[in-house]
Copies of this chain bind each other. A is one copy, B any other.
């Protein structure tokens, strides 16, 4: 089981954006420099964040991105969903001969995996961008 960089980058970038969000739009170039994430890759990530209305874009000189909502309204669930960082549990295919279909342990793992998904998602549902900003500030005293 693993978490990919894309989700982590999205979180890092949004925390960065939230911190510098107050006055002007924040350009991806700045985020790229501050966070050490490739600009090209950031563009891919932000196009997804925009599609899910987590950020808004402002084009042209002095343009950049702005949060669409307040930091406490943006949950990790929303972020991960936007960038396709989802909990995949590799279930059995319905019409394959392999797996649990009609077999002895049918559904054991299905129920288990469903429980696990719920468990993980409940974590993501609770954490907001604001929570992360707070813990970030505490660390930088």
A: residues with CB less than 8 A from B are 1-5, 7-8, 11-12, 15-16, 19, 34-37, 80, 85-90, 97-101, 103-109, 111-113, 115-116, 119-120, 123, 127, 132, 135-136, 139
- Out of B36, B87, B100, B109, name the residue touching A97 (CB < 8 Å): B36
A16-B104 CB under 8 A given contacts A11-B112, A36-B97, A90-B5: yes
Query: Nearest Cβ in chain B — how far from A41, in angstroms?
Result: 10
Complex contact A12–B100 (CB within 8 A): yes
Complex contact B12–A108 (CB within 8 A): yes
Complex contact A112–B127 (CB within 8 A): yes
Taken together as a complex, chains A and B put the C-alpha atoms of A98 and B1 apart, in Å, by: 23
Complex contact B2–A113 (CB within 8 A): no
Number of copies: 2
- Out of B19, B88, B101, B107, name the residue touching A2 (CB < 8 Å): B88
- Out of B80, B86, B97, B123, name the residue touching A119 (CB < 8 Å): B123
A8-B90 CB under 8 A given contacts A1-B1, A35-B104: yes
Closest Cβ neighbor of A100 among chain B residues: B12
Complex contact A3–B120 (CB within 8 A): no
Complex contact A104–B19 (CB within 8 A): yes
Give 11 A-B contacts (CB < 8 Å), ordered by A residue.
A1-B88, A15-B105, A16-B104, A16-B105, A34-B104, A36-B98, A36-B99, A106-B139, A112-B127, A116-B120, A119-B120
